[in-house]
């Protein structure tokens, strides 16, 4: 099925300029220096010695500040301090004995070649433009009322009460209801987030602070909290009414960034996840231990970091091999606006991915936000013609291969021969062992076209452990092999 690697290079397919041949060439796993603590990524906002692209705003936005006060969603833990992290009741994260957690402490530590001076290339910063809202809102949303159906909790004002809240392109209904457990879906905390997102879309500070005043002055968000606390239904009605009128009155002036700000993408993705994946999340743990189908998720903050580090832009093609419920595929499409692919073999995960895609697209439309083209395949990625086609155009490939066995990792390596020069593969286990060198006996190995950089993710980056860990970015670089042959 695959042409011999050496023949491909000799034939000039994907051929870089040739250099003088040498007899053996090292293919290295390069390690960034200066990494003292596991959470340095969070502190620096990007990891590594160099600052990441400043494109993703890491300043303290009202959205960000307020988020740390509310603990509504099971998926929000990446941005919270351990003390405030909600319980993981509905999340597959509660699987301490699974293969993923067993492997957490296995790290490929530095080897001689890791001290090499070369650095992972810093991509261009992502540029964002302010553009007007886009029309939409014709797709159905899963209502917040659906999410509280079988969850214990209590109503405010002594009985079932819902309010209709105006999103830029659609009305959304919220039950005024409090969950018993802090890990369960909390519609009021989400409604507060909706107000913050909306505030950030208004064209000036004065209008923004009428909805959400970061300095704690009188504002809609504050009056809303007071109405709930004091059981004041009249205040609730007038406050929601005022919010809705502001949104409709200024609708034509509401602005969004293109690509959208990561904080906004994370919130919208969390809303979709809570409605589609959370109710069945515990069933995702139903896999065979130590198999290729061990389930685990990268959290949104870590994915944003990966997008920045790999220089993903609107014109990129992103592919997640083993995409689970589609989180990363959907995030790349919404947050970056690029063409985004996922492929997942497990039926339940695929079914949830499809539900989640529909919900993310409906929510993006309700907020007047664009999204890249999304393709989710419910198939095996091995020997898959559509995936092979996507890989030929791919800019960034993600493989959360933490629990993949050697055979599957080898099949993936063969697939990487299709990748264009400069494509990047992000993985949790390296595809190239430390100390690998090109030699006559391994000349056909796809490892020879990968230049691997070792990185560390910070605490609360993945959903199977709060601990920090390792990941790898392999860049397709055929020049050293070309020089060898």
Ligand X SMILES: C[S@@+](CC[C@H](N)C(=O)[O-])C[C@H]1O[C@@H](n2cnc3c(N)ncnc32)[C@H](O)[C@@H]1O
318 is in an annotated binding site: yes
Q: Do 454 and 412 meet the contact criterion of CB atoms below 8 Å apart?
A: no
Q: Is 70 in the site for ligand X (CB under 6 A)?
A: no
The encoded tokens of residue 154 equal 């209590």
User: Interface mask (CB under 6 A) for ligand X, residues 243-282, using x and -?
Assistant: ----------------------------------------
Q: Do 284 and 397 meet the contact criterion of CB atoms below 8 Å apart?
A: no
Q: Indicate which single residue of 136, 168, 183, 324 sits in contact with ligand X (rule: CB under 6 A).
A: 324
Closest to 372 in 3D by CA, of 339, 397, 350, 324 = 339
Least Cβ distance, residue 458 to ligand X (angstroms): 16
307 is in an annotated binding site: no
Least Cβ distance, residue 342 to ligand X (angstroms): 7
* C-alpha span between 191 and 193 (Å, rounded): 5
Residue 243 or 302 with smaller CB distance to ligand X: 302
* C-alpha span between 8 and 461 (Å, rounded): 39
Q: Is 418 in the site for ligand X (CB under 6 A)?
A: no
Q: Indicate which single residue of 278, 309, 340, 400 sits in contact with ligand X (rule: CB under 6 A).
A: 400
User: Interface mask (CB under 6 A) for ligand X, residues 327-366, using x and -?
Assistant: xx--------------xxxx--x-----------------
Q: Is 295 in the site for ligand X (CB under 6 A)?
A: yes
Stretch that binds ligand X, among 90-98, 101-109, 292-300, 448-456 (CB under 6 A): 292-300
Written as one string, the DSSP assignment of 387-442 is HHHHHHH-SEEEE--TT--HHHHHHHHHHGGGSPTT-EEEESS-SS-TT-EE-GGG
Sign of CA dihedral 232, 233, 235, 236: positive
* C-alpha span between 157 and 175 (Å, rounded): 11
Residue 199 or 343 with smaller CB distance to ligand X: 343
Residue 242 or 351 with smaller CB distance to ligand X: 351
Q: Indicate which single residue of 90, 166, 323, 356 sits in contact with ligand X (rule: CB under 6 A).
A: 323
Non-local CB neighbours of 200 within 8 Å, separated by 6+ positions: 61, 62, 63, 208, 261, 264
Q: Which residues of 221-247 are buried (b: 16+ CB within 10 A; e: fewer)?
A: bebbeebbeeebeeebeebbeebbebb
Phi and psi torsions of 62, nearest 5°: -55, -40
Non-local CB neighbours of 46 within 8 Å, separated by 6+ positions: 52, 53, 305, 308, 309
Least Cβ distance, residue 279 to ligand X (angstroms): 18
Sign of CA dihedral 188, 366, 167, 141: negative
Cis omega (within 30 of 0) for bond into 259: yes
Q: Is 102 in the site for ligand X (CB under 6 A)?
A: no
Residue 349 or 450 with smaller CB distance to ligand X: 349
Stretch that binds ligand X, among 39-47, 119-127, 226-234, 319-327 (CB under 6 A): 319-327
Q: Indicate which single residue of 47, 296, 300, 337 sits in contact with ligand X (rule: CB under 6 A).
A: 296
Residue 382 or 485 with smaller CB distance to ligand X: 382
Q: Indicate which single residue of 14, 292, 358, 409 sits in contact with ligand X (rule: CB under 6 A).
A: 292
Residues tagged in the binding site annotation: 295-298, 318-327, 344, 380-381
Contacting residues toward ligand X, per CB under 6 A:
292-298, 320, 322-324, 327-328, 343-346, 349, 380-382, 400, 402
């Amino acid at each position: 099925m695959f042409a011999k690697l050496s023949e491909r290079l000799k034939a000039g397919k994907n051929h870089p300029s040739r250099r003088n041949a040498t007899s053996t060439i090292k293919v290295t796993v390069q390690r960034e220096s200066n990494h003292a603590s596991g959470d340095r990524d969070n502190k620096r906002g990007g990891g590594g010695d160099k600052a990441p692209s400043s494109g993703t705003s890491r300043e303290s936005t009202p959205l960000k500040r307020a988020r740390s006060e509310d603990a509504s969603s099971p998926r929000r833990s990446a941005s919270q301090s351990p003390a405030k992290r909600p319980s993981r009741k509905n999340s597959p994260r509660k699987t301490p004995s699974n293969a993923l957690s067993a492997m957490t402490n296995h790290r490929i530590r530095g080897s001689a070649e890791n001290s090499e001076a070369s650095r992972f290339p810093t991509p261009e910063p992502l540029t964002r433009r302010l553009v007007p809202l886009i029309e939409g809102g014709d797709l159905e949303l899963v209502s917040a009322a659906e999410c509280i159906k079988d969850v214990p909790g209590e109503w405010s004002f002594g009985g079932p009460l819902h309010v209709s809240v105006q999103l830029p392109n659609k009305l959304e209904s919220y039950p005024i209801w409090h969950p018993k457990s802090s890990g369960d879906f909390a519609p009021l905390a989400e409604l507060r987030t909706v107000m913050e997102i909306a505030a950030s879309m208004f064209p000036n500070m004065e209008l923004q602070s009428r909805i959400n005043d970061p300095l704690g002055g009188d504002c809609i968000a504050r009056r809303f909290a007071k109405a709930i606390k004091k059981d004041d239904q009249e205040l609730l009605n007038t406050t929601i009414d005022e919010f809705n009128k502001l949104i409709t009155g200024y609708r034509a002036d509401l602005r969004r960034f293109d690509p959208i700000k990561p904080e906004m993408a994370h919130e919208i993705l969390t809303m979709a996840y809570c409605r589609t994946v959370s109710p069945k999340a515990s069933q995702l743990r139903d896999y065979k231990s130590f198999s290729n189908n061990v389930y685990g998720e990268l959290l949104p903050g870590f994915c944003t970091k990966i997008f920045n580090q790999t220089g993903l832009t609107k014109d990129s093609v992103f592919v997640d091999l083993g995409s689970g419920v589609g989180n990363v595929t959907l995030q790349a499409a919404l947050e970056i606006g690029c063409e985004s692919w996922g492929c997942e073999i497990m039926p339940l995960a695929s079914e949830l991915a499809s539900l989640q895609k529909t919900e993310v697209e409906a929510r993006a439309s309700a907020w007047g936000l664009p999204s890249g083209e999304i393709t989710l395949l419910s198939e095996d990625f091995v020997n898959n013609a559509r995936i092979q086609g996507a890989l030929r155009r791919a800019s960034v490939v993600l493989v959360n291969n933490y629990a993949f066995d050697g055979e599957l990792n080898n099949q993936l390596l063969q697939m990487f021969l299709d990748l264009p020069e400069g494509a990047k593969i992000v993985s949790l286990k390296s595809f190239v062992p430390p100390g690998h060198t090109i030699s006559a006996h391994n000349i056909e190995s796809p490892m020879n076209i990968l230049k691997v950089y070792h990185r560390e993710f910070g605490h609360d980056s993945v959903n199977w452990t709060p601990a920090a860990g390792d990941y790898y970015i392999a860049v397709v670089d055929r020049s050293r092999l070309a020089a060898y042959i």
